[in-house]
Amino acid sequence: MFLIFIAITLGITYWASRRSAGANAFFAAGRQIKSWQNGVAVAGDYMSAASFLGIAGIIAFQGYDGFMFSVGWLVAYLTLLLVVAEPLRNSGKYTMADVLAYRLQPRPVRAMAALSTITICTFYMVAQMVGAGALVALLLKGSGISFSTAVIGVGVLMIVYVVFGGMLATTWVQIVKAILLTIGAILLSFLVMSHFHFSLYSFFDAIGHVTYHDQGREVVKDFLQPGLRYKPPYGPLDLISLSLALILGTAGLPHILVRFYTVPDAKTARHSIIWAMALIGSFYIMTTFLGFGAATIVGRDFIATHGGNNMSAPLLAQALAGDIFFAFICAIAFATILAVVAGLTISATTSFAHDFWTNVIHRGVERKPGEEVRVARVSAFVLGAISMVIAILLGPTVNVAFLTSLAICVAASANLPAILFSIFWPRFNTTGAVAGMAVGLLASIGLILVSPSLMAIDPPTVTGSARHLIQAKAWFPLENPGIVSIPLGFLGAIVGTLLSHEPTSRHKFNELLVRSNTGLGAEKATAGH
């Protein structure tokens, strides 16, 4: 059965890459990516392990609170649409670092941007590794492969495939996977509803009375009720913190922002966001169905002993339509993870190799031909290795949507203040940017390290990877530090700016202002990547 899965995954990837070769030639011939294509590709970036596996997992285990993740993720696109996307596209540059370097001194700003990009990509990558490892471990359950082995095996394969395989991150491949994932989700939702005889009433009735075992005792919970994950005393605050991080973070995610440079102009960027929102929104509404379906049809107890909460959606597929469908869903999920890993690797390694290594350390001069590419390859392996280690340490029960929300929190704290102030604040300067990004990064990561995700005192009944890494009472009570780290990021940027003067930045503000608002002088997009 694992072989079926491998066959399907390779088939999808191979077919999509072949088509991509043709599509790229087409794009390179001068035509550019249309808004719907870019929108679907953006959606594909988003609909990865985090949403499909992760949100279904939280909802399957903790009901309503998982829905909050979906909501935040979609509404975040409004921030992108109304405030960030068009100015960025109009400013005509390729990456977030390019935009920041527009008014400010390039070296310090690129260095910080590379640092934050790599950090965010690492978090995201860890989530993908956990998802991929859990998938493979589940599929090979019979042969006794552990999660750790699965992560290492799969991780190495993915990185090697990505570094030497090339085409995986291309827009077309993302599009194909997004479409397949949507079809899979629609099929699953249909099957869930047919299980309940297409009666929404009985579906919600079942959700209202979910049974499982909590520490040995059987409980019945209303899964439509908020509060199963975010309980008092800190739950409500944590929820607000999460919401803040989600709604602001997407507009600061480097690998999402870079997608808007592959469209010809701001108007197309705008329309592609609309397409993305339509797809993502519908997809998320479906995943909540899947999560509730998994909670009621498969049950938390079964899922917990068969791969953990991240496997809720595939296990639902298995329960409803047997092993072939299960393999199909696993394959699509895995293929999407692979594509996202490819995108992240490219984003992080080009940021390191181009922004940091060549521009910052060697002042824009490539000492030997091909050096930049080699640096990128090496950094890909390092990134992969670090993510794998962290994924193994965290274990299969850490929810991947949750991990992604942490990455988004870092983006909101470190990147967004710099981006916003660069576009909107004349006085903003390099010191401000560096300070803001540094404070945002340190605050978000620091608080995550001392949060209940990593620090807690577990009773002896909790064993293995479910035990927290640091056995002590958490210093910071919230899972998501957004409500503290994001304001700190903004504050850092403000204080840094006010403490120094940089007339050149102010002079260039009008140029950036006019460009970003009108599109005057904006570069035409390069052909799709």
Partner 1 sequence: MPDDTKLDQNAQTVWDRVAASREFRDLMATKKIFIVPAFIFFMVFYFLLPILVGYAPSFMTIKVWGDVNLAYLFALSQFFMAWIVAALYVRAADRFDALSRDIIEAAQKPKDEKGGQ
Residues in contact with partner 1 by the rule CB under 8 A? 64, 67-68, 71-72, 74-75, 77-78, 81-83, 86, 93, 98, 101-102, 201, 204-205, 207-208, 222, 224-227, 230, 235-237, 239-240, 242-243, 247, 267, 270-271, 273-274, 277-278, 281, 284-285, 507-508, 510-511, 513-515, 517-520
Helix boundaries (H) for 396-502: 400-410, 416-424, 430-449, 482-498
Residue 221 or 255: which CB sits closer to partner 1?
A: 221
Residue 235 or 489: which CB sits closer to partner 1?
A: 235
Tell me the C-alpha distance between 487 and 442, whole Å.
13
Distance of CA 353 to CAs 214, 259, 346, 430, Å? 49, 19, 10, 22
Tell me the C-alpha distance between 338 and 134, whole Å.
14
As measured in angstroms, the least distance from the Cβ of 514 to partner 1 is 5
Contact criterion met (CB below 8 Å) for 117 and 353: no
As measured in angstroms, the least distance from the Cβ of 229 to partner 1 is 11
As measured in angstroms, the least distance from the Cβ of 289 to partner 1 is 12
As measured in angstroms, the least distance from the Cβ of 218 to partner 1 is 20
As measured in angstroms, the least distance from the Cβ of 276 to partner 1 is 10
Residue 57 or 308: which CB sits closer to partner 1?
A: 57
Per-residue tokens: 364? 């824009």
Look up residue 398 and give its DSSP letter. Answer: S
Residue 34 or 467: which CB sits closer to partner 1?
A: 34
Backbone angles phi, psi at 427, to 5 degrees: -75, -15
Residue 40 or 151: which CB sits closer to partner 1?
A: 40
Residue 242 or 488: which CB sits closer to partner 1?
A: 242
Distance of CA 356 to CAs 230, 308, 376, 386, Å? 40, 39, 11, 19
Distance of CA 155 to CAs 118, 149, 303, 387, 459, Å? 18, 10, 23, 9, 32
Residue 70 or 312: which CB sits closer to partner 1?
A: 70
Tell me the C-alpha distance between 53 and 401, whole Å.
8
HSE-CB of 38 using CA atoms within 13 angstroms: 28
Identity of the residue numbered 431: T
Q: Is 363 left (phi over 0), alpha (psi -120 to 50) or beta?
A: left
As measured in angstroms, the least distance from the Cβ of 447 to partner 1 is 19
Residue 224 or 462: which CB sits closer to partner 1?
A: 224
Tell me the C-alpha distance between 156 and 388, whole Å.
9
As measured in angstroms, the least distance from the Cβ of 273 to partner 1 is 7
Residue 211 or 517: which CB sits closer to partner 1?
A: 517
As measured in angstroms, the least distance from the Cβ of 75 to partner 1 is 5
Per-residue tokens: 37? 């294509």
